[in-house]
């Protein structure tokens, strides 16, 4: 791996990258925020050195064939590779993973599809830097453990590639700013691949809200409620890294599945923005109980100590006065649910189970099953892509999010979601940790758009 020349400014110091082992992942309490005073935290809210954000959203030059390199091809990363194989105008050029056997397996899929075998990058944790330097790529897609999302995205943009990352894009305030700074400096897309933006009920709600059926939106509720205890304690996949975060952090680690879709409906970064939040966590008991019940005395996992509260509850206020409830619950026994509620002056949608009530349209004081209204208000993106997305991950929404990204790159149009969305939804993670550590004190949410939220156009999903 070549060294960075001093004459070429870089956001990633290679020597720092090589230190990003378990001791250097930024897993300090609150991502480094908890011990800071409110005044010190306030200094992280602005980035005056950046100057104003661009007046218009990024539209890069159109790309006829999108050349992609994947970094991390485990369960979710491999699923994205499968999706990209089903999208026209894509060439999978490179595969990177710390597990060489898995990288070879996924490369086999590409070759078996009648395509040229991709180059492999399997020389260790930081071999993605070599990929970004050596390969002629348009897009680098990362589905790695959380601590590698920012390094991979920065390496991609520094080397002239667009970046896409699984969620959250970052979990430190400073890193959220670094993504924004790099995207602006190099004029590259940096997209957080939040699949729930494209879930069918969420897109129907967006469509209904755009048609004014809910009236003025005033409140939303969202969350990620999923029993992950078995996954966190596995000796493979996410069990190799996800549990470590619960040993060092206490807050909402995974807000975007619920928060992103309601942000779309509430015009966050496009007419409104998050102003401040307060957060609190319950005691941390669930993971300790699981370890005690599943491992014998003396087992190393029974000696682990967790600080992440089992249930985190956060309230966000927007500058236009709207309120958002956000919940995170992954350490206790429960059926899966995300919570998805959008409430306005004329109606409400509430998820799990999905149901809707619109004044003057629904039977008085009675919920309607969302399927009773789906044919009427289904989002056009779903009707366009329903057949093509059938059988893809998470009910088809994973394919749709990948398709939409490729479409934007090939047509040279703004992506549905951009680096500012990635930053503001991800920064909720460290801010909740600070609030929890400081008796649920309010903390301001940075304005990564630096005021442009008031003029950028409302979200409209790319079509046609």
> What average pLDDT does range 113-121 have in this prediction?
98
- Express each pLDDT in 294-346 by its tens digit: 999 999 999 999 999 999 999 999 999 999 999 999 999 999 998 999 999 99
* Helix, strand, coil share of the chain (percent; to 5): 40, 15, 40
Write out the CATH class of domain 197-380+418-454.
alpha beta
Residue 75 has pLDDT above 80, yes or no: yes
Residue 62 has pLDDT above 90, yes or no: yes
Going by C-beta distance under 8 Å and a sequence separation of 6 or more, which residues neighbour residue 353?
A: 369
Residue 46 has pLDDT above 90, yes or no: no
What is the distance of C-alpha 380 from the center of its chain? 23
The per-residue pLDDT for 32 is 65
The per-residue pLDDT for 4 is 29
Mean pLDDT of the chain, nearest integer: 93
Helix axis angle, 419-426 to 256-265, nearest 10°: 120
Burial code of 396-407, b = ≥16 C-beta within 10 A, e = fewer? bbbbbbbbbbbb
Contact 420, 449 (CB under 8 A): yes
Taking the C-alpha atoms of residue 75 and residue 54, their distance in angstroms, rounded to an integer, is 36
From the CB of residue 251, how many other CB atoms can be counted at a distance below 10 Å?
31
pLDDT band for position 19 (cuts 50, 70, 90): very low
Which ranges of 390-437 does DSSP label H, i.e. alpha helix? 397-411, 419-426, 428-437
Taking the C-alpha atoms of residue 428 and residue 173, their distance in angstroms, rounded to an integer, is 9
At 8, list the tokens.
């070429």
Residue 34 has pLDDT above 80, yes or no: no
> What average pLDDT does range 17-29 have in this prediction?
39
Residue 241 has pLDDT above 70, yes or no: yes
Residue 15 has pLDDT above 80, yes or no: no
Taking the C-alpha atoms of residue 171 and residue 150, their distance in angstroms, rounded to an integer, is 9
pLDDT band for position 20 (cuts 50, 70, 90): very low
Identify the residue with better confidence: 81 or 32.
Answer: 81
Taking the C-alpha atoms of residue 393 and residue 411, their distance in angstroms, rounded to an integer, is 25
Residue 23 has pLDDT above 90, yes or no: no
The per-residue pLDDT for 11 is 35
The per-residue pLDDT for 57 is 97
> What average pLDDT does range 255-273 have in this prediction?
98
Which ranges of 253-379 does DSSP label H, i.e. alpha helix? 256-265, 286-294, 371-377
Taking the C-alpha atoms of residue 388 and residue 400, their distance in angstroms, rounded to an integer, is 9
> What average pLDDT does range 410-426 have in this prediction?
98
90-96 and 66-71: which strand pairing?
parallel
Domain ranges for the chain: 197-380+418-454
The per-residue pLDDT for 338 is 87
> What average pLDDT does range 99-106 have in this prediction?
98
The per-residue pLDDT for 30 is 45
Residue ranges of E strands in 154-229: 162-165, 190-192, 217-225
């Amino acid at each position: 791996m070549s060294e960075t020349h001093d004459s070429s400014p870089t956001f990633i110091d290679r020597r720092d990258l090589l230190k990003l082992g378990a001791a250097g992942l930024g897993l300090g309490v609150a991502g480094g925020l908890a011990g800071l005073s409110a005044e010190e935290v306030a200094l992280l809210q602005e980035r005056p050195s950046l100057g104003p954000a661009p007046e218009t959203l990024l539209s890069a030059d159109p790309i006829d064939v999108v050349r992609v390199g994947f970094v991390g091809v485990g369960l979710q990363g491999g699923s994205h590779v499968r999706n990209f194989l089903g999208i026209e105008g894509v060439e999978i050029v490179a595969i990177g993973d710390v597990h060489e056997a898995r990288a070879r397996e996924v490369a086999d899929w590409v070759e078996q599809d009648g395509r040229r075998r991709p180059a492999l990058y399997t020389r260790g944790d930081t071999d993605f830097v070599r990929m970004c330097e050596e390969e002629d790529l348009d897009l680098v897609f990362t589905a790695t453990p959380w601590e590698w999302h920012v390094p991979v995205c920065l390496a991609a943009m520094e080397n002239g590639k667009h970046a896409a990352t699984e969620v959250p894009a970052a979990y430190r305030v400073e890193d959220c700013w670094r993504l924004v700074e790099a995207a602006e400096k190099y004029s590259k897309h940096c997209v957080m691949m939040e699949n729930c933006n494209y879930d069918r009920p969420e897109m129907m709600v967006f469509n209904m809200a755009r048609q004014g059926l809910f009236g003025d939106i005033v409140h939303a509720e969202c969350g990620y409620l999923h029993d992950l205890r078995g996954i966190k304690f596995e000796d493979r996949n996410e069990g190799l890294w996800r549990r470590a975060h619960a040993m060092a952090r206490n807050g909402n680690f995974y807000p975007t599945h619920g928060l992103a879709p309601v942000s779309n409906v509430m015009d966050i970064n496009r007419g409104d923005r998050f102003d401040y939040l307060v957060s609190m966590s319950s005691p941390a008991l669930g993971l300790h109980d699981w370890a005690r019940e599943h491992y014998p005395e003396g087992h190393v996992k029974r000696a682990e100590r967790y600080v992440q509260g089992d249930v985190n509850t956060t309230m966000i206020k927007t500058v236009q006065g709207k309120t958002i409830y956000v919940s995170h619950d992954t350490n206790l026994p429960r059926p899966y649910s995300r919570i998805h509620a959008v409430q306005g002056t004329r109606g409400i949608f509430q998820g799990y189970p999905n149901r809707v009530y619109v004044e003057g349209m629904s039977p008085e004081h009675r919920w309607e099953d969302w399927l009773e209204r789906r044919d009427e208000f289904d989002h056009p993106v779903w009707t366009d892509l329903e057949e093509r997305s059938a059988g893809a991950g998470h009910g088809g929404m994973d394919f749709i999010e990948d398709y939409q990204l490729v479409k934007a790159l090939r047509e040279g149009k703004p992506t549905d979601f951009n680096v500012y969305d990635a930053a503001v939804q991800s920064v909720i993670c460290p801010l909740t940790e600070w609030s929890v550590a400081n008796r649920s004190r309010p903390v301001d949410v940075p304005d990564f758009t630096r005021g442009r939220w008031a003029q950028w156009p409302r979200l409209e999903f790319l079509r046609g």
